[in-house]
Amino acid sequence: MKAVKNNKISLIGVPLQYGADRTGVDMGPSAIRSSHVQTRLEALGYHIRDLGDIHVNRTIEACAAGEKLKHLKEIKNVNSQLCQVVADEMDKGQFPLVLGGDHSIAIGTIKGVLQHVNKLGVIWFDAHTDVNTDETTFTGNIHGMSLAVALGYGHHELTSIGGAEKTIRPENVAIIGARSIDPGERKFLKEKGIRVFTMHDIDRNGMKQVMEEALEIVTNGTDGVHLSLDLDGMDPGEAPGVGTPVSGGMSYRESHLAMEMLYERDCLVSAEFVEVNPMMDQHNKTAKIAVELIGSVFGERIL
């Protein structure tokens, strides 16, 4: 394991909401910034470059009736930009920290990281598994397809971003916190042998054991690990301001323990925090929790 460890972080905002049904997640990057993410990281000794936001066309009208993948063109455009920015920042020795936006932005983030890291492990915190494709989706929402695309499955307009050959391997992926999985996704996950730690696993075995097993999966034979954290992995009582809330999620302390264990393992090369929706939030609570989790994954401790 040769993670790129340094104290130089590039903040990259992606105010994209076209991958989801609910409006509001496009305000996620500004909500996280206004919750003092930069100040918190600087207090931990990191040097921060805030690159601002990837350009998103905010004037796109509703999808046409029967459109299979909603807003495919703009989502491809935004993720292509993001892929290039992430790759460029890593080329400069920076750690890319991406702020979403809906979870479709994981396509651009991971594809950008893959320009530098050939064998990439991915730890995916989410209530959902996001392995639908254009053939299995019920909704047409691309934020539910991003992990499948990173694995090389789905619409060619998406899998071709950053090069169709740039993919992650199923055996290097661990999904944590899942509790809402579509039928087509169940089949895909079983066929590909992807390890999913559901809320049942966390309830039965505890977050410590789940994280230990997940870390073994994502670090086994890889050159670095990407963290993709959807705030809806947490319980809506803890994090109400998310794009697609699902009851029965991870607690505040379980989530922090997971981030603390990730930091201790010293394996991350990139990270993204997505699906903060200020329109659904209570007094910016979820954005503040996102910043607190970012603090933990970069070494902040109680004592």
Task: Write down the catalytic residue from 103, 155, 226, 256.
Answer: 103
Residue 21 annotated in active site = no
Residue 42 annotated in active site = no
Residue 91 annotated in active site = no
Task: Write down the catalytic residue from 102, 232, 235, 254.
Answer: 232
Residue 281 annotated in active site = no
Task: Write down the catalytic residue from 89, 126, 185, 201.
Answer: 126
Residue 134 annotated in active site = no
Closest CA to 71 of 131, 143, 161: 143
Task: Write down the catalytic residue from 130, 185, 235, 300.
Answer: 130
Q: How far apart are CA 126 and CA 103, in angstroms?
A: 10
Task: Write down the catalytic residue from 89, 102, 201, 230.
Answer: 230
Task: Write down the catalytic residue from 143, 155, 226, 256.
Answer: 143
Q: How far is CA 89 from CA 9, 42, 270, in A?
A: 9, 18, 11
H-assigned helices in the chain? 28-34, 37-43, 72-91, 106-113, 146-150, 156-159, 183-192, 199-219, 252-265, 285-297
Residue 272 annotated in active site = no
Residue 61 annotated in active site = no
Task: Write down the catalytic residue from 116, 128, 155, 226.
Answer: 128
For the range 92-96, what are the long-range contacts, defined as Cβ-Cβ under 8 Å and sequence gap of 24 or more?
93/4, 93/6, 93/8, 94/6, 94/8, 94/9, 94/10, 94/49, 95/4, 95/6, 95/8, 95/9, 95/10, 95/268, 95/269, 95/270, 95/271, 96/9, 96/10, 96/12, 96/270, 96/271
Residue 235 annotated in active site = no
Catalytic residues: 103, 126, 128, 130, 143, 230, 232, 275
